[in-house]
């Protein structure tokens, strides 16, 4: 039997419905923030990720899926989304658009050859946002707010933002020099990877999972000690804007993020998720003002964020968050002979094209079996076709919960379902919106007080 690759998953059934719900929330949220969707290739030139993500990152040195295509071109399955977005920004000359900044979001699969574990896979789906063209600290706060609000909307609790600043190039260079001086006398205490990182990018040492518990790393200099005045002031502005948005950010100087292109603001967002333990970070990002320039475009300030959809769904499951996922159909059309089957086929299409979720019989089951199938599908209504009734243009419609049924003219069916299905949904969701009021309230009758009167 052929099985799926290690670190990959088949997403189907109720889990797939949860994924789709999360993605629908993302799309709706992005519309409100006025970010435009972008889709980039799943594979790109290997050079893009080596130049963009950075030669010293674990993603490039250990985790990329590289291959040579039939044209003998070096290609790589994308390990993250930012480099592809920036490549497209440059290639399509978006920096020349009159509307600036360019605000983009993506939602797609990424590929990393790492050891699969809970919440970490070799094929992962990431949602991310990128703002290209503005260096305003308010953009940093807005991007962070997107992450926070997404998790809150989905129902996760105790959202926490950890924030740090790597400073501008002058500050980062000073910090890099300080780290090299600090770690060089202790190089033998470091793992083999960190020994190589020392000269290439010593900030990566602080992000090492192997040496994380060493006192050497815990007592290392922090970025905040080497920020120049301009970088300090900028960082204070970011925190001020977050305060205006009601977002409490905890300064954590140990956050450096895993990619080479970051400068100034870097952040991670976590939630208290039962069973996640120390690995409760759901997403993160930061500012990258030099990446467009590195990839051949004009100097362009940028800010971004990314989060894994699979990790979000896992967190929601562990926290037992009930999502309003629709797992039912509006009506199930029943029939027993060929004449009725033709009407069922026609009706199913008409109702679907008028906005109803419709199922019918495909397995040649008798009526008893069709009743059971309708129950399995949580059908709200049953549409029962009968040859004699059809001659008079009549059909039987039955409420599958109350078991009440009536015969109606087939031409009235769409209006009947339109009225009754909406009514059912109002009964199901309306109580959440009820509130206490008095006789003088102006709620048009939608509150507990008037509910009791009715």
Give the pLDDT of residue 259.
63
CATH for the stretch 331-433: 3.40.50.800
At 203, give phi and psi (nearest 5°).
-65, -30
Structure tokens at 19: 């994924």
Q: Is the pLDDT of residue 442 over 50?
A: no
What's the whole-model pTM score? Answer: 0.85
More confident residue, 449 or 80: 80
**Which three-class secondary structure state does DSSP give residue 51?**
helix
Angle at 51 between CA 254 and CA 280, to 5 degrees: 30
Q: Is the pLDDT of residue 383 over 90?
A: yes
- Other CB atoms within a 10 A radius of the CB of residue 78 amount to 24
Residue position matching structure tokens 């044209």: 71
Q: Considering the chain, tell me which residue range(s) the CATH 3.30.930.10 domain(s) occupy.
A: 13-168+228-318
Which residues, other chains included, contact 220 with Cβ-Cβ below 8 Å and sequence gap of 6+? 179, 182, 183, 205, 206
In terms of Cα–Cα distance, which of 104, 53, 48, 86 is closest to 261?
Answer: 53
Q: For 175-234, what is each residue's pLDDT tens digit? A: 888 888 888 888 877 887 777 777 777 877 777 777 777 878 778 888 899 999 999 999
Residue position matching structure tokens 């793992």: 191
The radius of gyration of the chain from alpha carbons, rounded to an integer in Å, stands at 28
Give the pLDDT of residue 119.
63
Instruction: Average the pLDDT over 33-39 and give the result.
Output: 97
In terms of Cα–Cα distance, which of 267, 175, 265 is closest to 221?
Answer: 175
Lowest model confidence (mean pLDDT) among 53-67, 276-290, 411-425:
53-67
In terms of Cα–Cα distance, which of 180, 143, 191 is closest to 163?
Answer: 143
Instruction: Compute the distance between CA of residue 243 and CA of residue 443 in angstroms, rounded to an integer.
Output: 33
Angle at 268 between CA 263 and CA 270, to 5 degrees: 175
Give the pLDDT of residue 49.
87
Looking at the chain, the whole-number percentage of residues with pLDDT higher than 70 is: 88
Q: Is the pLDDT of residue 56 over 80?
A: no
Looking at the chain, the whole-number percentage of residues with pLDDT higher than 90 is: 69
CATH 3.40.30.10 given to domain 13-168+228-318: no
Q: Is the pLDDT of residue 427 over 90?
A: no
Structure tokens at 443: 């709620």
Give the pLDDT of residue 283.
94
Instruction: Compute the distance between CA of residue 137 and CA of residue 22 in angstroms, rounded to an integer.
Output: 28
3-state SS string over 125-175?
A: EEEEEEEECCCCHHHHHHHHHHHHHHHHHHCCCCCEEEEEECCCHHHHHHH
Q: Considering the chain, tell me which residue range(s) the CATH 3.40.50.800 domain(s) occupy.
A: 331-433
CA distances (Å), origin 52, targets 86, 200, 416: 9, 15, 58
Q: Is the pLDDT of residue 17 over 70?
A: yes
Instruction: Compute the distance between CA of residue 284 and CA of residue 161 in angstroms, rounded to an integer.
Output: 9
Give the pLDDT of residue 438.
46
Please write down the long-range contacts of 61-64, taking CB distance under 8 Å and 24 or more positions apart. 62/113, 62/114, 63/112, 63/113, 63/114, 64/111, 64/112, 64/113
Place 61 in a pLDDT band, splitting at 50, 70 and 90.
low
Mean pLDDT rounded to a whole number for the chain: 88
Are the CB atoms for 267 and 286 separated by under 8 Å?
yes
- In this structure, the dihedral spanned by the alpha carbons of residues 364, 365, 367 and 369, taken in order and rounded to 10 degrees, is -160
In terms of Cα–Cα distance, which of 387, 328, 388 is closest to 358?
Answer: 328
- Other CB atoms within a 10 A radius of the CB of residue 404 amount to 9
Q: Is the pLDDT of residue 368 over 50?
A: yes
DSSP codes, 331-385: EEEE-SSHHHHHHHHHHHHHHHHTT--EEE--S---HHHHHHHHHHTT-SEEEE-
């Amino acid at each position: 039997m052929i099985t799926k690759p290690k670190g990959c998953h088949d997403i189907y059934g109720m889990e797939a419905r949860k994924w789709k719900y999360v993605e629908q929330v993302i799309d709706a949220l992005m519309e409100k923030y006025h970010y435009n969707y972008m889709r980039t290739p799943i594979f790109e030139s290997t050079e893009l990720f080596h130049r963009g993500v950075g030669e010293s990152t674990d993603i490039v040195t250990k985790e990329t899926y590289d291959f040579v295509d039939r044209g003998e071109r070096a290609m790589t399955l994308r390990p993250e989304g930012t480099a592809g977005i920036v490549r497209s920004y440059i290639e399509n000359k978006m920096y020349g658009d009159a509307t600036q900044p360019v605000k983009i979001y993506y939602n797609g699969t990424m590929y990393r050859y790492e050891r699969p574990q809970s919440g970490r896979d070799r094929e992962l789906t990431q949602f991310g946002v990128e703002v290209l063209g503005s260096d305003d600290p308010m953009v940093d706060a807005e991007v962070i707010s997107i992450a926070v609000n997404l998790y809150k909307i989905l129902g996760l609790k105790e959202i926490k933002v950890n924030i740090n600043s790597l400073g501008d190039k002058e500050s980062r260079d000073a910090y890099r020099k300080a780290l090299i001086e600090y770690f060089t006398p202790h190089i033998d205490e470091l793992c083999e990877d960190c020994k190589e990182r020392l000269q290439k990018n010593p900030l990566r040492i602080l992000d090492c999972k192997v040496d994380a518990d060493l006192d050497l790393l815990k007592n290392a200099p922090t970025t905040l000690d080497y920020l120049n005045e301009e970088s300090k002031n900028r960082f204070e502005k970011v925190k001020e804007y977050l305060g205006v948005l009601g977002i409490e950010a905890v300064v954590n100087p140990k956050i450096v993020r895993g990619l080479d292109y970051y400068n100034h603001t870097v952040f991670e967002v976590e939630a208290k998720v039962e069973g996640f333990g120390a690995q409760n970070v759901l997403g993160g990002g930061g500012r990258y003002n030099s990446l467009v320039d590195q990839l051949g475009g004009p100097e362009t300030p940028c800010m971004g964020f990314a989060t894994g959809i699979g990790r979000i769904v896992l967190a929601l499951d562990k926290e037992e968050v009930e999502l309003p996922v629709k797992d039912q159909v509006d009506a199930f059309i029943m029939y027993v002979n060929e004449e009725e089957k033709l009407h069922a086929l026609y009706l199913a299409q008409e109702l679907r094209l008028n906005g109803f979720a419709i199922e019918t019989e495909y397995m040649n089951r008798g009526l008893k079996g069709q009743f059971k199938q309708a129950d399995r599908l949580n059908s709200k209504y049953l549409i029962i076709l009968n040859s004699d009734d059809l001659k008079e243009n009549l059909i039987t419609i039955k409420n599958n919960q109350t078991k009440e049924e009536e015969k109606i003219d087939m031409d009235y069916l769409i209006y009947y379902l339109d009225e009754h299905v909406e009514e059912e949904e109002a009964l199901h969701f309306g109580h959440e919106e009820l509130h206490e009021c008095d006789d003088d309230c102006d709620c048009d009758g939608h509150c507990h007080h008037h509910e009791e009167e009715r």
